[in-house]
Structure 1
Amino acid sequence: MARTIKEIQDSIIDSLQQESGLSLSTSKVAEWRLWTYVFAVVVHTFEIILDMFRIEVDTLVEKVTPGTVRWYAEMCYRFQNGHELLFDDKKAMLYYPEDNPDARIIKVVAIREETNRLVIKAAKWDPDGNIVPLSLEERYNFTGYIDAIKFAGVDTTIVSTTEDKIRYNLEVYYDPAVPLTQINTDVSAALDTFKSSQGFDSMIYRQRFIDAVMDVPGVTTCNLLTMERKGATDEDFSPVDICAELESGYFEYDITSRLVFKSVKELEI
Protein backbone atom coordinates (compact mmCIF):
# COMPACT_ATOMS: atom_id res chain seq x y z
CA MET A 1 0.00 0.00 0.00
CA ALA A 2 1.35 3.41 -0.96
CA ARG A 3 2.82 5.46 1.87
CA THR A 4 1.76 9.06 2.39
CA ILE A 5 3.99 11.89 1.16
CA LYS A 6 4.76 12.86 4.76
CA GLU A 7 5.81 9.31 5.66
CA ILE A 8 8.16 9.16 2.68
CA GLN A 9 9.59 12.62 3.34
CA ASP A 10 10.18 11.82 7.02
CA SER A 11 11.99 8.64 5.99
CA ILE A 12 14.24 10.59 3.59
CA ILE A 13 15.00 13.25 6.22
CA ASP A 14 15.84 10.62 8.85
CA SER A 15 18.23 8.88 6.45
CA LEU A 16 19.94 12.15 5.54
CA GLN A 17 20.37 13.21 9.14
CA GLN A 18 21.69 9.83 10.30
CA GLU A 19 23.88 8.76 7.37
CA SER A 20 25.07 11.84 5.50
CA GLY A 21 27.20 13.32 8.25
CA LEU A 22 26.35 16.76 6.88
CA SER A 23 25.39 19.77 8.94
CA LEU A 24 21.95 20.56 7.54
CA SER A 25 19.90 23.65 8.19
CA THR A 26 17.04 23.07 10.64
CA SER A 27 14.84 25.65 8.90
CA LYS A 28 11.55 24.21 7.67
CA VAL A 29 11.91 26.21 4.45
CA ALA A 30 15.49 25.12 3.77
CA GLU A 31 16.15 24.20 0.15
CA TRP A 32 17.19 20.66 1.03
CA ARG A 33 13.84 20.09 2.70
CA LEU A 34 12.06 21.28 -0.45
CA TRP A 35 14.01 18.70 -2.45
CA THR A 36 13.04 15.95 -0.01
CA TYR A 37 9.39 16.93 -0.58
CA VAL A 38 9.83 16.80 -4.37
CA PHE A 39 11.36 13.32 -4.20
CA ALA A 40 8.71 12.21 -1.71
CA VAL A 41 5.95 13.22 -4.16
CA VAL A 42 7.69 11.29 -6.97
CA VAL A 43 8.08 8.17 -4.82
CA HIS A 44 4.45 8.46 -3.58
CA THR A 45 3.19 8.68 -7.17
CA PHE A 46 5.26 5.65 -8.16
CA GLU A 47 3.92 3.61 -5.23
CA ILE A 48 0.33 4.50 -6.21
CA ILE A 49 1.05 3.27 -9.75
CA LEU A 50 2.46 0.04 -8.32
CA ASP A 51 -0.66 -0.45 -6.19
CA MET A 52 -2.91 0.06 -9.21
CA PHE A 53 -0.79 -2.32 -11.27
CA ARG A 54 -0.94 -4.96 -8.51
CA ILE A 55 -4.74 -4.69 -8.32
CA GLU A 56 -5.04 -4.99 -12.11
CA VAL A 57 -2.75 -8.02 -12.21
CA ASP A 58 -4.54 -9.73 -9.31
CA THR A 59 -7.89 -9.18 -11.02
CA LEU A 60 -6.63 -10.57 -14.33
CA VAL A 61 -4.99 -13.55 -12.65
CA GLU A 62 -8.16 -14.37 -10.76
CA LYS A 63 -10.18 -14.05 -13.95
CA VAL A 64 -7.97 -16.20 -16.16
CA THR A 65 -7.03 -18.85 -13.58
CA PRO A 66 -9.16 -21.86 -14.56
CA GLY A 67 -11.58 -23.04 -11.92
CA THR A 68 -12.07 -19.77 -10.04
CA VAL A 69 -15.47 -18.15 -9.74
CA ARG A 70 -14.34 -15.21 -11.88
CA TRP A 71 -13.09 -17.65 -14.52
CA TYR A 72 -16.49 -19.34 -14.69
CA ALA A 73 -18.16 -15.92 -14.88
CA GLU A 74 -15.83 -14.85 -17.70
CA MET A 75 -16.52 -18.09 -19.58
CA CYS A 76 -20.26 -17.51 -19.20
CA TYR A 77 -19.92 -14.13 -20.90
CA ARG A 78 -17.99 -15.80 -23.74
CA PHE A 79 -20.84 -18.21 -24.52
CA GLN A 80 -22.06 -17.80 -28.10
CA ASN A 81 -25.59 -19.07 -28.60
CA GLY A 82 -26.06 -21.16 -31.72
CA HIS A 83 -22.31 -21.69 -32.28
CA GLU A 84 -20.56 -25.06 -31.94
CA LEU A 85 -17.54 -25.48 -29.70
CA LEU A 86 -14.55 -27.15 -31.37
CA PHE A 87 -11.52 -28.83 -29.82
CA ASP A 88 -8.00 -27.69 -30.69
CA ASP A 89 -5.78 -30.80 -30.72
CA LYS A 90 -2.57 -28.76 -30.51
CA LYS A 91 -3.56 -26.53 -27.59
CA ALA A 92 -5.97 -29.05 -26.00
CA MET A 93 -8.58 -26.30 -25.64
CA LEU A 94 -12.18 -25.73 -26.64
CA TYR A 95 -12.82 -22.76 -28.88
CA TYR A 96 -15.32 -21.14 -31.21
CA PRO A 97 -14.25 -21.08 -34.88
CA GLU A 98 -15.46 -17.47 -35.13
CA ASP A 99 -16.00 -14.64 -32.69
CA ASN A 100 -19.54 -13.30 -33.00
CA PRO A 101 -20.28 -10.62 -30.38
CA ASP A 102 -23.98 -10.62 -31.32
CA ALA A 103 -24.22 -14.27 -30.24
CA ARG A 104 -22.89 -13.51 -26.75
CA ILE A 105 -26.30 -13.29 -25.12
CA ILE A 106 -25.27 -13.69 -21.46
CA LYS A 107 -25.24 -10.21 -19.91
CA VAL A 108 -25.82 -10.96 -16.22
CA VAL A 109 -23.99 -13.68 -14.29
CA ALA A 110 -24.07 -14.54 -10.59
CA ILE A 111 -22.37 -17.62 -9.19
CA ARG A 112 -22.82 -19.23 -5.79
CA GLU A 113 -20.44 -21.86 -4.43
CA GLU A 114 -22.24 -24.58 -2.53
CA THR A 115 -21.00 -27.92 -1.24
CA ASN A 116 -19.57 -29.73 -4.29
CA ARG A 117 -21.72 -27.58 -6.57
CA LEU A 118 -21.71 -24.31 -8.48
CA VAL A 119 -25.03 -22.54 -8.95
CA ILE A 120 -24.76 -20.36 -12.06
CA LYS A 121 -27.48 -17.74 -12.49
CA ALA A 122 -27.61 -16.12 -15.91
CA ALA A 123 -29.83 -13.72 -17.82
CA LYS A 124 -29.82 -11.65 -21.02
CA TRP A 125 -31.06 -8.28 -22.29
CA ASP A 126 -34.22 -7.89 -24.33
CA PRO A 127 -34.33 -5.43 -27.27
CA ASP A 128 -35.32 -2.64 -24.86
CA GLY A 129 -32.32 -3.25 -22.61
CA ASN A 130 -34.28 -4.94 -19.83
CA ILE A 131 -32.83 -7.96 -18.04
CA VAL A 132 -34.86 -11.09 -18.84
CA PRO A 133 -34.44 -14.88 -18.41
CA LEU A 134 -33.05 -17.09 -21.16
CA SER A 135 -35.51 -18.91 -23.38
CA LEU A 136 -35.78 -22.71 -23.09
CA GLU A 137 -33.60 -23.20 -26.18
CA GLU A 138 -31.01 -20.68 -25.00
CA ARG A 139 -30.89 -22.25 -21.56
CA TYR A 140 -30.46 -25.72 -23.10
CA ASN A 141 -27.56 -24.48 -25.25
CA PHE A 142 -25.98 -22.64 -22.35
CA THR A 143 -26.23 -25.71 -20.10
CA GLY A 144 -24.48 -27.80 -22.74
CA TYR A 145 -21.74 -25.16 -23.02
CA ILE A 146 -21.15 -25.15 -19.26
CA ASP A 147 -21.05 -28.97 -19.20
CA ALA A 148 -18.36 -28.83 -21.89
CA ILE A 149 -16.06 -26.28 -20.23
CA LYS A 150 -16.47 -27.14 -16.55
CA PHE A 151 -13.89 -29.09 -14.58
CA ALA A 152 -14.38 -32.84 -14.23
CA GLY A 153 -16.21 -33.69 -11.02
CA VAL A 154 -17.78 -30.26 -10.62
CA ASP A 155 -21.57 -30.31 -10.47
CA THR A 156 -23.33 -27.25 -11.84
CA THR A 157 -26.89 -25.99 -11.69
CA ILE A 158 -28.10 -23.42 -14.20
CA VAL A 159 -30.73 -20.94 -13.03
CA SER A 160 -32.40 -18.43 -15.33
CA THR A 161 -35.63 -17.04 -14.01
CA THR A 162 -37.52 -13.78 -13.64
CA GLU A 163 -36.00 -11.12 -11.45
CA ASP A 164 -36.34 -10.91 -7.69
CA LYS A 165 -38.28 -7.99 -6.27
CA ILE A 166 -36.81 -5.67 -3.65
CA ARG A 167 -39.22 -3.55 -1.62
CA TYR A 168 -37.90 -0.83 0.65
CA ASN A 169 -39.15 1.93 2.91
CA LEU A 170 -36.45 4.60 3.02
CA GLU A 171 -36.28 8.04 4.59
CA VAL A 172 -33.57 10.31 3.20
CA TYR A 173 -32.49 13.40 5.16
CA TYR A 174 -30.79 16.00 3.00
CA ASP A 175 -29.09 19.37 3.29
CA PRO A 176 -31.75 22.01 2.46
CA ALA A 177 -29.06 24.04 0.68
CA VAL A 178 -29.28 21.46 -2.13
CA PRO A 179 -32.46 21.59 -4.26
CA LEU A 180 -34.86 18.74 -3.54
CA THR A 181 -35.23 18.02 -7.26
CA GLN A 182 -31.47 17.48 -7.50
CA ILE A 183 -31.43 15.21 -4.44
CA ASN A 184 -34.34 13.20 -5.85
CA THR A 185 -32.63 12.76 -9.22
CA ASP A 186 -29.25 11.81 -7.70
CA VAL A 187 -30.70 9.33 -5.20
CA SER A 188 -32.75 7.64 -7.92
CA ALA A 189 -29.63 7.38 -10.08
CA ALA A 190 -27.66 5.94 -7.14
CA LEU A 191 -30.31 3.29 -6.56
CA ASP A 192 -30.25 2.33 -10.24
CA THR A 193 -26.46 2.10 -10.14
CA PHE A 194 -26.63 -0.09 -7.04
CA LYS A 195 -29.08 -2.38 -8.82
CA SER A 196 -26.84 -2.78 -11.87
CA SER A 197 -23.60 -3.24 -9.92
CA GLN A 198 -24.38 -6.50 -8.13
CA GLY A 199 -21.37 -8.77 -7.76
CA PHE A 200 -20.77 -12.40 -8.68
CA ASP A 201 -22.12 -13.78 -5.39
CA SER A 202 -25.82 -13.06 -6.15
CA MET A 203 -26.23 -11.47 -2.71
CA ILE A 204 -27.87 -8.20 -1.79
CA TYR A 205 -26.52 -6.43 1.31
CA ARG A 206 -28.60 -4.06 3.38
CA GLN A 207 -25.62 -1.89 4.38
CA ARG A 208 -24.38 -1.51 0.80
CA PHE A 209 -27.85 -0.29 -0.16
CA ILE A 210 -27.61 2.36 2.56
CA ASP A 211 -24.04 3.27 1.55
CA ALA A 212 -25.15 3.82 -2.06
CA VAL A 213 -27.63 6.46 -0.88
CA MET A 214 -25.23 8.00 1.62
CA ASP A 215 -22.66 8.58 -1.14
CA VAL A 216 -25.01 11.03 -2.87
CA PRO A 217 -23.81 14.65 -2.42
CA GLY A 218 -26.24 16.55 -0.21
CA VAL A 219 -27.53 13.49 1.66
CA THR A 220 -26.84 13.92 5.37
CA THR A 221 -28.21 10.61 6.62
CA CYS A 222 -30.92 8.09 5.88
CA ASN A 223 -33.14 5.65 7.72
CA LEU A 224 -33.93 2.33 6.07
CA LEU A 225 -37.09 1.37 7.90
CA THR A 226 -37.69 -1.89 6.04
CA MET A 227 -36.11 -3.89 3.23
CA GLU A 228 -37.73 -7.02 1.81
CA ARG A 229 -37.06 -9.54 -0.98
CA LYS A 230 -39.34 -11.77 -3.01
CA GLY A 231 -38.07 -14.39 -5.46
CA ALA A 232 -39.88 -15.96 -8.39
CA THR A 233 -40.90 -19.00 -6.33
CA ASP A 234 -41.69 -17.12 -3.10
CA GLU A 235 -45.28 -16.55 -2.10
CA ASP A 236 -44.58 -13.30 -0.28
CA PHE A 237 -41.84 -10.86 0.65
CA SER A 238 -39.38 -11.75 3.41
CA PRO A 239 -37.26 -9.23 5.37
CA VAL A 240 -33.63 -8.57 4.54
CA ASP A 241 -31.86 -8.15 7.87
CA ILE A 242 -28.18 -8.16 6.92
CA CYS A 243 -28.14 -9.77 3.49
CA ALA A 244 -30.16 -12.12 1.32
CA GLU A 245 -29.47 -14.34 -1.66
CA LEU A 246 -31.14 -13.35 -4.90
CA GLU A 247 -32.91 -16.33 -6.42
CA SER A 248 -32.40 -15.07 -9.97
CA GLY A 249 -29.07 -13.30 -9.39
CA TYR A 250 -30.56 -9.90 -10.21
CA PHE A 251 -33.48 -7.78 -9.08
CA GLU A 252 -35.87 -4.93 -9.76
CA TYR A 253 -37.35 -2.55 -7.23
CA ASP A 254 -40.98 -3.23 -6.38
CA ILE A 255 -43.35 -0.45 -7.40
CA THR A 256 -44.72 -0.30 -3.83
CA SER A 257 -41.32 0.78 -2.48
CA ARG A 258 -41.45 4.00 -0.47
CA LEU A 259 -38.86 6.77 -0.76
CA VAL A 260 -39.38 9.87 1.39
CA PHE A 261 -37.18 12.99 1.43
CA LYS A 262 -36.91 15.15 4.53
CA SER A 263 -34.82 18.19 5.37
CA VAL A 264 -32.15 17.45 7.94
CA LYS A 265 -33.75 20.22 10.01
CA GLU A 266 -36.68 17.87 10.61
CA LEU A 267 -34.48 15.49 12.63
CA GLU A 268 -35.52 15.30 16.24
CA ILE A 269 -32.55 15.66 18.58
Structure 2
Amino acid sequence: MARTIEEIKKDMTTEWMKQPAVMSAYGLDGKKAFKDCFSAASLENILFYVFAFAVWSLESLFDLHRNEVDLLIERLEPHTLRWYVAKAKNYMQGYSLVTDCDYYDTSKLSASEIEAARVVKYAVATEKNTVVYIKVARQGEDGNPQSLTAGQLAGLRSYLEEIKDAGVSIQVRNEPADSMQISLVIYYDPTLLTISSNGTGVLPDGSEPVREAVKSVITGLPFNGVFRKSDLMAALQDLPCVKVADITSVKVKAKNAVTGPVEVVGYSVPESGYYEITSLDVDYKPYNTVG
Protein backbone atom coordinates (compact mmCIF):
# COMPACT_ATOMS: atom_id res chain seq x y z
CA MET A 1 0.00 0.00 0.00
CA ALA A 2 1.37 3.39 -0.98
CA ARG A 3 2.65 5.60 1.80
CA THR A 4 1.33 9.13 2.13
CA ILE A 5 3.36 12.04 0.75
CA GLU A 6 4.09 13.24 4.29
CA GLU A 7 5.34 9.80 5.35
CA ILE A 8 7.68 9.60 2.37
CA LYS A 9 8.92 13.14 2.90
CA LYS A 10 9.57 12.46 6.59
CA ASP A 11 11.58 9.31 5.82
CA MET A 12 13.68 11.19 3.25
CA THR A 13 14.35 14.27 5.38
CA THR A 14 15.16 12.20 8.47
CA GLU A 15 17.92 10.36 6.60
CA TRP A 16 19.11 13.55 4.92
CA MET A 17 19.44 15.36 8.24
CA LYS A 18 21.71 12.57 9.54
CA GLN A 19 24.36 13.06 6.85
CA PRO A 20 27.60 14.60 8.21
CA ALA A 21 28.03 16.80 5.10
CA VAL A 22 24.53 18.26 5.55
CA MET A 23 25.07 18.89 9.25
CA SER A 24 28.36 20.64 8.51
CA ALA A 25 27.01 22.73 5.60
CA TYR A 26 23.95 23.96 7.50
CA GLY A 27 25.49 24.02 10.96
CA LEU A 28 23.02 21.50 12.39
CA ASP A 29 23.46 19.81 15.77
CA GLY A 30 21.43 16.68 14.91
CA LYS A 31 18.88 17.26 17.65
CA LYS A 32 16.19 19.03 15.61
CA ALA A 33 13.83 17.68 12.98
CA PHE A 34 13.76 18.95 9.40
CA LYS A 35 10.60 21.01 9.93
CA ASP A 36 12.27 22.81 12.86
CA CYS A 37 15.20 23.91 10.70
CA PHE A 38 13.58 24.74 7.35
CA SER A 39 10.45 26.77 6.72
CA ALA A 40 7.59 25.64 4.48
CA ALA A 41 8.68 28.21 1.87
CA SER A 42 12.34 27.15 1.82
CA LEU A 43 13.87 25.69 -1.34
CA GLU A 44 14.86 22.54 0.56
CA ASN A 45 11.30 21.91 1.75
CA ILE A 46 9.86 22.46 -1.75
CA LEU A 47 12.41 20.11 -3.34
CA PHE A 48 11.75 17.35 -0.82
CA TYR A 49 8.00 17.74 -1.35
CA VAL A 50 8.46 17.35 -5.11
CA PHE A 51 10.63 14.26 -4.63
CA ALA A 52 8.13 12.79 -2.15
CA PHE A 53 5.24 13.43 -4.55
CA ALA A 54 7.11 11.63 -7.34
CA VAL A 55 7.77 8.61 -5.11
CA TRP A 56 4.13 8.59 -3.94
CA SER A 57 2.95 8.61 -7.55
CA LEU A 58 5.17 5.65 -8.35
CA GLU A 59 3.99 3.67 -5.31
CA SER A 60 0.35 4.42 -6.20
CA LEU A 61 0.93 3.12 -9.72
CA PHE A 62 2.44 -0.05 -8.24
CA ASP A 63 -0.71 -0.49 -6.13
CA LEU A 64 -2.93 -0.14 -9.20
CA HIS A 65 -0.80 -2.62 -11.09
CA ARG A 66 -0.93 -5.10 -8.22
CA ASN A 67 -4.73 -4.85 -8.04
CA GLU A 68 -5.03 -5.39 -11.79
CA VAL A 69 -2.79 -8.46 -11.61
CA ASP A 70 -4.75 -9.86 -8.66
CA LEU A 71 -8.00 -9.40 -10.59
CA LEU A 72 -6.58 -11.18 -13.64
CA ILE A 73 -5.36 -14.07 -11.49
CA GLU A 74 -8.77 -14.33 -9.81
CA ARG A 75 -10.47 -14.52 -13.18
CA LEU A 76 -8.06 -17.14 -14.50
CA GLU A 77 -7.82 -19.44 -11.47
CA PRO A 78 -10.12 -22.51 -11.23
CA HIS A 79 -13.25 -21.79 -9.24
CA THR A 80 -12.73 -23.43 -5.87
CA LEU A 81 -15.30 -24.02 -3.15
CA ARG A 82 -13.98 -20.89 -1.45
CA TRP A 83 -14.79 -18.96 -4.63
CA TYR A 84 -18.41 -20.15 -4.53
CA VAL A 85 -18.66 -19.11 -0.86
CA ALA A 86 -17.26 -15.66 -1.61
CA LYS A 87 -19.60 -15.22 -4.57
CA ALA A 88 -22.63 -16.29 -2.52
CA LYS A 89 -21.78 -13.66 0.12
CA ASN A 90 -21.29 -11.04 -2.60
CA TYR A 91 -24.82 -11.53 -3.95
CA MET A 92 -26.75 -8.23 -3.83
CA GLN A 93 -30.54 -8.37 -3.57
CA GLY A 94 -32.21 -5.87 -5.90
CA TYR A 95 -29.20 -5.23 -8.16
CA SER A 96 -28.07 -6.60 -11.53
CA LEU A 97 -24.62 -7.87 -12.47
CA VAL A 98 -22.47 -5.94 -14.91
CA THR A 99 -23.29 -7.30 -18.38
CA ASP A 100 -21.39 -10.53 -19.15
CA CYS A 101 -19.54 -10.30 -15.81
CA ASP A 102 -19.81 -11.94 -12.38
CA TYR A 103 -19.63 -8.77 -10.30
CA TYR A 104 -21.67 -5.64 -9.55
CA ASP A 105 -21.00 -1.99 -10.25
CA THR A 106 -20.97 -0.49 -6.76
CA SER A 107 -19.25 2.78 -7.64
CA LYS A 108 -22.42 4.81 -6.95
CA LEU A 109 -23.41 2.97 -3.77
CA SER A 110 -22.47 3.79 -0.19
CA ALA A 111 -20.91 1.22 2.12
CA SER A 112 -24.18 0.92 4.07
CA GLU A 113 -26.18 0.35 0.89
CA ILE A 114 -23.80 -2.40 -0.22
CA GLU A 115 -23.93 -4.05 3.20
CA ALA A 116 -27.73 -3.98 3.26
CA ALA A 117 -28.00 -5.51 -0.21
CA ARG A 118 -25.67 -8.40 0.62
CA VAL A 119 -28.28 -10.54 2.34
CA VAL A 120 -26.19 -13.72 2.55
CA LYS A 121 -24.15 -13.30 5.72
CA TYR A 122 -23.27 -16.97 6.22
CA ALA A 123 -22.22 -19.49 3.59
CA VAL A 124 -20.26 -22.73 3.30
CA ALA A 125 -19.70 -24.94 0.26
CA THR A 126 -19.07 -28.68 -0.02
CA GLU A 127 -18.89 -31.05 -2.96
CA LYS A 128 -20.26 -34.56 -3.32
CA ASN A 129 -20.68 -36.65 -6.46
CA THR A 130 -19.82 -33.64 -8.71
CA VAL A 131 -22.52 -31.52 -7.07
CA VAL A 132 -21.61 -28.32 -5.19
CA TYR A 133 -23.81 -27.84 -2.13
CA ILE A 134 -23.95 -24.33 -0.68
CA LYS A 135 -25.50 -23.77 2.74
CA VAL A 136 -26.59 -20.18 3.25
CA ALA A 137 -28.28 -18.01 5.86
CA ARG A 138 -28.96 -14.36 6.57
CA GLN A 139 -28.48 -12.55 9.88
CA GLY A 140 -31.56 -12.10 12.03
CA GLU A 141 -32.33 -9.11 14.22
CA ASP A 142 -30.92 -11.01 17.20
CA GLY A 143 -27.59 -11.42 15.38
CA ASN A 144 -28.05 -15.15 14.84
CA PRO A 145 -28.39 -16.96 11.49
CA GLN A 146 -31.83 -17.24 9.88
CA SER A 147 -33.02 -18.75 6.62
CA LEU A 148 -33.37 -16.47 3.60
CA THR A 149 -36.79 -15.28 2.54
CA ALA A 150 -38.39 -16.84 -0.55
CA GLY A 151 -37.54 -13.77 -2.63
CA GLN A 152 -33.93 -13.68 -1.46
CA LEU A 153 -33.50 -17.39 -2.16
CA ALA A 154 -34.95 -17.11 -5.67
CA GLY A 155 -32.63 -14.21 -6.45
CA LEU A 156 -29.58 -16.01 -5.08
CA ARG A 157 -30.28 -19.14 -7.12
CA SER A 158 -30.69 -17.11 -10.32
CA TYR A 159 -27.44 -15.26 -9.59
CA LEU A 160 -25.47 -18.47 -8.94
CA GLU A 161 -26.79 -20.08 -12.10
CA GLU A 162 -25.51 -17.09 -14.05
CA ILE A 163 -21.98 -16.99 -12.61
CA LYS A 164 -21.23 -20.69 -12.05
CA ASP A 165 -18.88 -22.74 -14.22
CA ALA A 166 -20.49 -24.46 -17.18
CA GLY A 167 -21.41 -28.06 -16.39
CA VAL A 168 -21.33 -27.55 -12.60
CA SER A 169 -24.46 -28.51 -10.68
CA ILE A 170 -25.24 -26.31 -7.68
CA GLN A 171 -27.69 -27.05 -4.88
CA VAL A 172 -28.48 -24.22 -2.46
CA ARG A 173 -29.49 -25.29 1.04
CA ASN A 174 -31.52 -22.66 2.85
CA GLU A 175 -33.10 -24.28 5.87
CA PRO A 176 -34.31 -23.21 9.32
CA ALA A 177 -32.03 -23.99 12.24
CA ASP A 178 -31.58 -27.57 13.40
CA SER A 179 -33.36 -27.97 16.73
CA MET A 180 -31.32 -29.02 19.76
CA GLN A 181 -32.64 -30.54 23.00
CA ILE A 182 -30.25 -30.58 25.95
CA SER A 183 -30.59 -32.26 29.34
CA LEU A 184 -28.07 -31.62 32.12
CA VAL A 185 -27.46 -32.57 35.73
CA ILE A 186 -25.58 -29.84 37.58
CA TYR A 187 -24.09 -30.30 41.05
CA TYR A 188 -23.73 -26.75 42.28
CA ASP A 189 -22.05 -24.88 45.13
CA PRO A 190 -24.89 -23.72 47.43
CA THR A 191 -22.78 -20.83 48.69
CA LEU A 192 -22.62 -19.33 45.20
CA LEU A 193 -25.77 -20.42 43.40
CA THR A 194 -29.39 -20.15 44.47
CA ILE A 195 -32.22 -22.22 43.01
CA SER A 196 -35.27 -20.06 42.34
CA SER A 197 -38.87 -21.14 42.76
CA ASN A 198 -39.09 -22.11 39.09
CA GLY A 199 -36.00 -24.34 39.35
CA THR A 200 -33.50 -21.98 37.72
CA GLY A 201 -30.00 -21.52 39.14
CA VAL A 202 -29.24 -17.83 39.66
CA LEU A 203 -26.36 -15.81 41.07
CA PRO A 204 -26.83 -12.85 43.44
CA ASP A 205 -26.75 -10.47 40.44
CA GLY A 206 -29.70 -12.30 38.88
CA SER A 207 -27.76 -13.95 36.06
CA GLU A 208 -28.24 -17.61 35.10
CA PRO A 209 -24.68 -18.87 34.50
CA VAL A 210 -25.50 -22.41 33.37
CA ARG A 211 -28.07 -21.41 30.77
CA GLU A 212 -25.89 -18.53 29.60
CA ALA A 213 -22.89 -20.88 29.22
CA VAL A 214 -24.92 -23.35 27.15
CA LYS A 215 -26.27 -20.57 24.94
CA SER A 216 -22.79 -19.12 24.48
CA VAL A 217 -21.38 -22.46 23.29
CA ILE A 218 -24.16 -23.01 20.74
CA THR A 219 -24.44 -19.45 19.39
CA GLY A 220 -20.65 -19.14 19.39
CA LEU A 221 -20.26 -21.95 16.85
CA PRO A 222 -19.09 -20.79 13.41
CA PHE A 223 -21.54 -21.33 10.56
CA ASN A 224 -21.61 -25.07 9.83
CA GLY A 225 -19.33 -25.52 12.84
CA VAL A 226 -18.96 -28.79 14.69
CA PHE A 227 -20.75 -29.08 18.03
CA ARG A 228 -18.70 -31.16 20.49
CA LYS A 229 -20.17 -32.35 23.74
CA SER A 230 -16.71 -32.04 25.27
CA ASP A 231 -16.73 -28.28 24.52
CA LEU A 232 -20.05 -27.90 26.31
CA MET A 233 -18.76 -29.89 29.26
CA ALA A 234 -15.63 -27.74 29.49
CA ALA A 235 -17.71 -24.53 29.47
CA LEU A 236 -19.91 -25.82 32.29
CA GLN A 237 -16.98 -27.02 34.39
CA ASP A 238 -15.33 -23.60 34.06
CA LEU A 239 -18.20 -21.99 36.00
CA PRO A 240 -17.15 -21.32 39.63
CA CYS A 241 -20.62 -22.25 40.88
CA VAL A 242 -20.54 -25.68 39.19
CA LYS A 243 -18.79 -28.47 41.05
CA VAL A 244 -19.77 -31.36 38.79
CA ALA A 245 -21.56 -31.29 35.43
CA ASP A 246 -23.12 -34.22 33.63
CA ILE A 247 -24.58 -34.07 30.12
CA THR A 248 -27.33 -36.65 30.22
CA SER A 249 -28.61 -36.07 26.70
CA VAL A 250 -28.16 -33.90 23.61
CA LYS A 251 -30.51 -34.55 20.71
CA VAL A 252 -30.61 -32.77 17.37
CA LYS A 253 -33.07 -32.75 14.50
CA ALA A 254 -32.99 -31.06 11.12
CA LYS A 255 -36.17 -29.10 10.47
CA ASN A 256 -37.12 -31.21 7.47
CA ALA A 257 -35.93 -34.55 8.85
CA VAL A 258 -38.43 -37.40 8.54
CA THR A 259 -37.24 -39.18 11.68
CA GLY A 260 -37.27 -37.82 15.22
CA PRO A 261 -34.41 -36.21 17.16
CA VAL A 262 -31.12 -38.10 17.04
CA GLU A 263 -28.88 -38.51 20.10
CA VAL A 264 -25.50 -36.81 19.68
CA VAL A 265 -22.58 -39.14 20.31
CA GLY A 266 -19.38 -37.14 20.60
CA TYR A 267 -20.07 -34.46 18.01
CA SER A 268 -22.57 -33.24 15.43
CA VAL A 269 -22.64 -31.01 12.33
CA PRO A 270 -25.92 -29.11 11.66
CA GLU A 271 -27.70 -29.89 8.41
CA SER A 272 -28.77 -26.24 8.06
CA GLY A 273 -25.42 -24.87 9.21
CA TYR A 274 -26.62 -23.70 12.64
CA TYR A 275 -28.56 -24.80 15.74
CA GLU A 276 -31.44 -23.46 17.78
CA ILE A 277 -31.90 -24.60 21.38
CA THR A 278 -35.54 -25.64 21.58
CA SER A 279 -35.30 -27.38 24.94
CA LEU A 280 -32.88 -27.00 27.85
CA ASP A 281 -33.64 -29.09 30.94
CA VAL A 282 -31.30 -28.59 33.91
CA ASP A 283 -31.59 -30.73 37.04
CA TYR A 284 -29.82 -28.84 39.84
CA LYS A 285 -28.45 -30.81 42.81
CA PRO A 286 -26.46 -29.35 45.70
CA TYR A 287 -22.89 -30.60 45.88
CA ASN A 288 -22.28 -32.39 49.16
CA THR A 289 -19.33 -34.68 49.83
CA VAL A 290 -20.26 -35.36 53.43
CA GLY A 291 -21.43 -38.97 53.71
Please classify the TM superposition score into its range, dividing by the shorter chain length. 0.5 to 0.7
Q: CA deviation at 1:162?
A: 1.8
TM-score (norm 2): 0.57
* CA distance 1:239–1:253, shift in 2 (3 Å): same
Map 1:97-116 → 2, pairs under 5 A: 97=106, 98=109, 100-116=114-130
Partner of residue 174 from structure 1, selected from 188, 192, 206: 188
* CA distance 1:67–1:264, shift in 2 (3 Å): farther
Partner of residue 243 from structure 1, selected from 246, 267, 287: 267
Q: 2:246 corresponds to which residue?
A: 223
Matched, 1:76 2:97: no
Amino acid in structure 1 at the alignment position of 2:128: E
Q: 2:59 corresponds to which residue?
A: none
Partner of residue 98 from structure 2, selected from 86, 95, 100: 86
Matched, 1:261 2:284: yes
Q: Secondary structure at the match of 1:118?
A: strand
Instruction: Say what the alpha-carbon RMSD is for the aligned residues.
Output: 3.3
CA distance in 2 between counterparts of 1:267 and 1:111 reads: 54
Q: Secondary structure at the match of 2:288?
A: helix
Amino acid in structure 2 at the alignment position of 1:78: N
Give 5+ residue unaligned stretches, structure 2. 1-73, 195-201
Q: Percent identity?
A: 23
Q: CA deviation at 1:67?
A: 4.9
Q: CA deviation at 1:177?
A: 4.2
Give CA-to-partner distance per residue, 1:12-45, whole Å, 9 cap, x none. xxxxxxxxxxxxxxxxxxxxxxxxxxxxxxxxxx
Q: 1:163 corresponds to which residue?
A: 177
Give CA-to-partner distance per residue, 1:115-168, whole Å, 9 cap, x none. 433322222244565643212221111123333444555432111122211011
TM-score (norm 1): 0.61
Q: Give the number of the structure whose alpha-carbon radius of gyration is greater.
A: 2
CA distance in 1 between counterparts of 2:93 and 2:216 reads: 28
Q: CA deviation at 1:70?
A: 5.0
Say if 2:102 and 2:163, in contact at 8 Å, map to a contact too: no
Say if 2:125 and 2:132, in contact at 8 Å, map to a contact too: yes
Partner of residue 194 from structure 1, selected from 210, 213, 217: 217
